Chains A and B, each alone.
Chain A
């Protein structure tokens, strides 16, 4: 009996030890980035290893956000916010009717459509970007917000349709059917019944669309060259001079922050919706 208790105690210790190791491996890189962004360059450069800061230094943030800094972060933040919002709105407007139809109505070739949408995420993005670049340059609309919104919408739309369809699939059908009997058209069912009920799904879809657009890197790298048109994820890499480590960390933190806030605030909703989709 004592042997068994000793073994149980050993396993409790082992589990906590493992938890600590996992905690450090997953959290430390992020902590390190945050720490670097808040330390003066002199301390970063010194080989003193201290994981607990003695001072907090906010100059890197002030510098990278200043107008005319070699890292066009200010423009990047504004551009990314604009492009991501426009993309998310456009995708929702297009995706909601499509998701409703795919979930509830008879759509010819529905399975094929859904399969095509999903397959897009497994194909190399460059296949789509090469000709899109040619077309945009031909039309003279490369290097514009518009070109990014179009491309992002294409990449984000399948995911948004998938999220909304999953969500609508799980809504009870009774209300709609009752409404249909009462003489509502499909359009009225969509706007008056589905839309209000699907609000959490729409919110989740908006957040995903926004985040996916915010983090997109290859598309703006190829489509934009004007520094004024840069996105936040790209800004750091647009300067030809190597920037200081602290400033780079601050820029990275600012790129990360909106995504992290959205994810943390809506963590429960986001995991619920993703898991619901994975059930099937």
Chain B
């Protein structure tokens, strides 16, 4: 009965004259308007403002654009080895976290998809880092790798793996990888939840049929689970990549971009230029360079995906 009423409702709606429709459009626009105004004021206008600033020198004392400098900000940046290094470092850092969190997330999701004693508890524990604010994740991993009081040093020393307590953040490469560990640890819950949902969406018959046909667990993974999960894994990996490139909190807390700028990614570079050197023009140019790199990464991944699907179809 309610269904019939509803059907009748839609019928009336379809037949209703154009004025009603227009009135609805006006009403719905009014509902969306405040959100759009806020978004336009906080995104659109500033984003354009930043683009304009990228071609100018900003006068911090007068709080206005000093003079137009054309491409000078960009040319200066690309002539600066520290900036160019930061671009490559950002891509490497993003890739590290994307691949690391996908592999770790996939392995843990596969594990949680099995039956074992304490699975529910493990599930809760795996999701925990999600509740950790990025700043706290930074503090926590900073303390883990602390040169004097860190558990990592204590443990490795006790196990005889190191002769002396290591100053982990003294070396740029090591420090960058520790930041990546913190980011991956933080990203794992998100990845596990979504990959697990994907795994549970796989038709169980496939598994059973393959098992009956005598496929080993490894073969089932290689030829069934892995290919079927790729459409889930690739977008998740891309999301992590893009998010990692805008990481800030952990870098600020753990290294402040140091030592000697060796852990400065583009986003951190923008912060230093803009809010420590207060060169807003150059910071804006750097911010837009980061945007370009982000778009390039997304574009490359879309092209790769197209190629992969077309190859699969042609096979």
Contact = CB atoms under 8 A, between A and B. Distances in A.
A245 B143 contact: yes
Which of under 10, 10 to 19, 20 to 34, or 35 or more describes the interface residues of B? Answer: 35 or more
A95 interface: yes
Contacts of B27: 101, 105, 186-187
Query: Counting chain A CB atoms within 10 Å of each CB, which of B63, B130, B149, B266 scores highest?
Result: B149
B9 interface: yes
A187 to B, nearest CB: 8
Contact of B35 (A98, A127, A275): A98
B261 to A, nearest CB: 17
A77 to B, nearest CB: 13
Given A49-B155, A101-B31, A126 B122 contact: no
Contact of A18 (B46, B111, B154, B185): B111
A108 interface: yes
A33 B143 contact: yes
Contacts of B34: 94, 97-98
Given A49-B158, A122-B242, A186-B24, A128 B6 contact: no
B126 interface: yes
Interface stretch (A61-69, A172-180, A198-206): A172-180
Interface string A110-134: 0001001100101111111111111
A83 interface: no
Contacts, number: 268
Contact of A128 (B46, B58, B116): B46
Contacts of B121: 23
B267 interface: yes
A275 B193 contact: yes
A158 interface: yes
Contact of A151 (B5, B42, B283): B42
Interface string B143-186: 11010110100110110000000000000000000000000010
A252 B140 contact: yes
A150 B39 CA distance: 11
B197 A275 contact: yes
B32 A101 contact: yes
B288 interface: yes
A173 B133 CA distance: 38
A168 interface: no
A125 B243 CA distance: 11
Interface in B1-56: 2-3, 5-6, 8-10, 12, 21, 24-25, 27-29, 31-32, 34-36, 38-39, 41-43, 45-47, 49-50, 53
A248 B135 CA distance: 12
By secondary structure, the B interface counts as: helix
A29 B140 contact: yes
B212 to A, nearest CB: 15
B199 interface: no
A28 B125 CA distance: 10
A100 B34 CA distance: 13
Nearest to A161: B35
Interface string B44-86: 0111011001000010000100000000000000000000000
A154 B24 contact: no
A113 B116 contact: no
Interface in A55-92: none
B193 to A, nearest CB: 6
Interface in A245-271: 245, 248-249, 251-252, 255-256, 259-260, 262-264, 267, 271
Contacts of B210: none
Nearest to A45: B149
A108 B38 contact: no
A29 B141 contact: yes
Nearest to A279: B197
12 contacts: A32-B143, A33-B139, A36-B149, A44-B149, A113-B36, A126-B271, A126-B283, A130-B284, A137-B63, A215-B135, A245-B149, A278-B194
Q: What are the 9 tightest A-B residue pairs by CB atom distance, in nearest-first order? A: A154-B42, A131-B49, A215-B133, A105-B28, A97-B31, A101-B31, A98-B35, A263-B131, A101-B28
Interface of B: 2-3, 5-6, 8-10, 12, 21, 24-25, 27-29, 31-32, 34-36, 38-39, 41-43, 45-47, 49-50, 53, 58, 63, 108, 111, 114, 116-119, 121-122, 124-136, 139-141, 143-144, 146, 148-149, 151, 154-155, 157-158, 185, 188, 193-194, 197, 217, 239, 242-243, 245-246, 248-249, 252-253, 266-267, 270-271, 274-275, 280, 283-284, 287-288, 290-291, 294, 298
Given A108-B25, A259-B131, A262-B131, 18 more contacts: A19-B111, A22-B108, A22-B126, A27-B125, A108-B29, A124-B287, A126-B270, A127-B291, A128-B50, A130-B274, A130-B280, A134-B49, A154-B39, A214-B133, A233-B133, A260-B128, A267-B124, A275-B194
